[in-house]
């Protein structure tokens, strides 16, 4: 060997030793004393493992599971895929207005800064120009594309009814969430309920909220899908003339139909009835001979087109949007199995596993119960996450779109404060994941010639979350410095 080659071996070996030391410091951190930890750091060009610890152990990923959901949807449907919500006339009954949902999670969403009511305004305008107003009409919302099990069975009761656990259906509107407003100026009783926005007919609340002086929002709304009885618990800030918390819309298809009917009434239409496809769907589940649809699609009068897939997955990864994620995994399910009576969540999970297995990535560590990571039963290994990240970076059909969908550390979204004011600010793009007892980060570290995919997963830690986040930050800084 030449002295230069020996010197190179010495330098690389020294970097490895430093990295292993950094790893040992990390896993021996007092906040992680009783934790399960999985670490995988892979050099992107060579695809060689640089640092690892229990990299094949299945751990709860929390929202880092969204990397799998968004990558699968992007590779399957492409970055410019758009959902379409169509409004047509029933060819069998010209007085019946049909609204067909395609599973668009962005309909009426406020995350893109657009007019939340644009669908209703534009649809009513199109119908007003196309239909005579002399007859009486009905509105029938076909929202059965994903069936009506809109929440994952693995979600816990403490999440049900809250906006971050909103159901995903063939029709979703306003992010499937509403705001419940309170007056909290009377410190001698429960906060007084003022209204909901939007108004939801028949929705009732059992109010057990108390007031706090900390200024923190600890209020939660509990309730089952399609139930109009809600329970409000926890505590919210005192001394506010208006304060709001968010909940899950019980029946978004029906709400959309009722709001469309209201907009049409304002311009002179007579709407006698609003229905959804839910009753027909439920009555046919156990039927041996399912009848054909009670409608026949006639002229399509209005079409609402969603933002492109690249915008949807960026919202998911930057802001950790559970609702959008759940729509994507069900979209994959319906893409692979078109029968609306087949569970789209199960089908989407099956499709995602098969998709990555076909691309040479082992899925033996993967256990999926949803598409967003909210279910605590979800499990995956750090190695699976880095395998997926390497694939998307080097072989993905939409590599740059996926990379750019991840927030920059210290600058954006859920990573706004992670690695802030360090040398890695803006040089790490990653997805974070956190639920009770879980803190994970997975993404890319790009610092000059240093290019790595990494996944750091911590479960059941005994320290505080800030302590665990700080330990992960120090580990990544040490890895970047020493390799």
Q: How far apart are CA 328 and CA 373, in angstroms?
A: 13
Query: Do 72 and 130 reside in the same domain of the chain?
Result: no
pLDDT score at 40: 98
Domain count for the chain? 2
Query: Do 115 and 94 reside in the same domain of the chain?
Result: yes
Domain membership of residue 318 (yes or no) is: yes
Q: What is the mean pLDDT of residues 437-448?
A: 96
Listed residues 287, 305, 323: the one ending a domain: 305
Query: Do 50 and 185 reside in the same domain of the chain?
Result: no
Least confident of 145-149, 297-301, 471-475, 476-480: 476-480
Are 65 and 380 in contact, with CB atoms under 8 Å apart? yes
Query: Do 166 and 258 reside in the same domain of the chain?
Result: yes
pLDDT band with cut points at 50, 70 and 90 for residue 188: confident
pLDDT score at 86: 98
pLDDT at 304 over 50: yes
Domain membership of residue 7 (yes or no) is: no
Q: Which long-range contacts (CB under 8 A, 24 or more apart) does 204-207 make?
A: 204/228, 204/229, 204/230, 205/180, 205/230, 205/231, 205/232, 206/230, 206/231, 206/232, 207/232
pLDDT at 358 over 60: yes
Residue range(s) defining the domain that contains residue 441: 23-79+312-482
Domain membership of residue 16 (yes or no) is: no
Domain membership of residue 3 (yes or no) is: no
pLDDT score at 8: 38
Are 31 and 461 in contact, with CB atoms under 8 Å apart? yes
Q: How far apart are CA 438 and CA 455, in angstroms?
A: 13
Domain membership of residue 263 (yes or no) is: yes
Domain membership of residue 191 (yes or no) is: yes
Query: Do 70 and 95 reside in the same domain of the chain?
Result: no
Listed residues 245, 274, 305: the one ending a domain: 305
pLDDT band with cut points at 50, 70 and 90 for residue 18: very low
Domain membership of residue 8 (yes or no) is: no
Query: Do 467 and 321 reside in the same domain of the chain?
Result: yes
pLDDT at 57 over 50: yes
Q: How far apart are CA 265 and CA 258, in angstroms?
A: 10
Query: Do 186 and 98 reside in the same domain of the chain?
Result: yes
Are 52 and 445 in contact, with CB atoms under 8 Å apart? no
Query: Do 372 and 275 reside in the same domain of the chain?
Result: no
Cross-strand bridge partners of residue 331? none
- The CATH number of the domain holding residue 47 is 3.40.710.10
pLDDT score at 91: 94
Are 434 and 440 in contact, with CB atoms under 8 Å apart? yes
**Mean of the per-residue pLDDT values of the chain:** 93
Q: How far apart are CA 354 and CA 364, in angstroms?
A: 11
Query: Do 125 and 272 reside in the same domain of the chain?
Result: yes
Query: Do 245 and 111 reside in the same domain of the chain?
Result: yes
pLDDT at 481 over 80: no
Are 293 and 340 in contact, with CB atoms under 8 Å apart? no
pLDDT score at 285: 85
Query: Do 284 and 330 reside in the same domain of the chain?
Result: no
Are 172 and 109 in contact, with CB atoms under 8 Å apart? no
Domain membership of residue 114 (yes or no) is: yes
Query: Do 163 and 275 reside in the same domain of the chain?
Result: yes
Say what the pTM is: 0.93
Listed residues 279, 305, 331: the one ending a domain: 305
pLDDT band with cut points at 50, 70 and 90 for residue 12: very low
Least confident of 8-12, 349-353, 401-405, 457-461: 8-12
pLDDT in tens, 384-440: 999 999 999 999 999 999 999 999 999 999 999 999 999 999 999 999 999 999 999
């Amino acid at each position: 060997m030449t002295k230069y080659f020996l010197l190179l071996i010495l330098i690389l070996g020294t970097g490895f030793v430093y990295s292993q030391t950094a790893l040992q410091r990390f896993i021996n951190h007092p906040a992680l004393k009783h934790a399960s930890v999985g670490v995988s750091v892979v050099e992107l060009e060579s695809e060689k493992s640089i640092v690892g610890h229990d990299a094949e152990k299945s751990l709860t990923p929390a929202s880092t599971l969204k990397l799998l959901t968004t990558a699968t949807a992007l590779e399957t449907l492409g970055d410019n895929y758009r959902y379409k919500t169509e409004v047509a006339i029933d060819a069998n009954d010209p007085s019946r207005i049909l609204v067909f949902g395609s599973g668009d999670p962005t309909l009426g969403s406020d995350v893109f800064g657009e007019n939340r009511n644009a669908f209703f305004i534009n649809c009513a305008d199109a119908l007003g120009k196309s239909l005579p107003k002399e007859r009486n009409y009905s509105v029938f919302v076909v929202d059965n594309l994903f069936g009506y099990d809109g929440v994952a069975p693995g979600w816990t009761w403490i999440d049900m009814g809250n906006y971050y656990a909103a159901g995903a259906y063939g029709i979703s509107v306003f992010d499937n969430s509403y705001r419940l407003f309170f007056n909290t100026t009377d410190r001698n009783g429960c906060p007084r309920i003022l209204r909901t926005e939007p108004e939801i007919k028949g929705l009732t609340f059992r109010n057990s909220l108390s007031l706090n002086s900390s200024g923190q929002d600890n209020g939660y709304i509990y309730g089952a899908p399609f139930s109009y009885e809600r329970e409000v618990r926890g505590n919210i800030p005192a001394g506010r003339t208006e304060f709001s918390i968010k909940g899950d819309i019980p029946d978004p298809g029906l709400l959309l139909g009722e709001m469309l009917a209201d907009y049409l009434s304002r311009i002179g239409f007579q709407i006698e009835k609003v229905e959804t496809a839910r009753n027909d769907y439920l009555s046919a589940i156990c039927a041996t001979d399912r009848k054909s649809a009670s409608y026949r699609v006639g002229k399509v009068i209005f079409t609402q087109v969603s933002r492109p897939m690249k915008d949807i997955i960026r919202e998911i990864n930057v802001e950790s949007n559970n609702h959008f994620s759940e729509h994507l995994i069900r979209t994959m399910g319906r893409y692979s199995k078109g029968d609306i009576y087949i569970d789209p969540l199960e089908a989407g999970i099956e499709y995602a596993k098969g998709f990555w297995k076909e691309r040479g990535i082992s899925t033996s560590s993967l256990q999926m119960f949803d598409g967003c990571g909210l279910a605590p039963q979800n499990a995956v290994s750090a190695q699976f996450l880095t395998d997926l990240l390497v694939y998307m970076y080097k072989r993905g059909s939409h590599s740059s779109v996926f990379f750019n969908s991840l927030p920059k550390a210290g600058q954006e979204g859920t990573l706004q404060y992670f690695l802030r004011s360090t040398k890695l600010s803006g040089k790490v793009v990653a997805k974070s994941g956190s639920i009770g007892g879980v803190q994970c980060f997975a993404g890319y570290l790009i610092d000059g010639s240093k290019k790595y995919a990494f996944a750091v997963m911590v479960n059941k830690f005994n320290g505080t979350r800030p302590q665990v986040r700080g330990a992960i930050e120090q580990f990544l800084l040490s890895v970047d410095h020493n390799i």
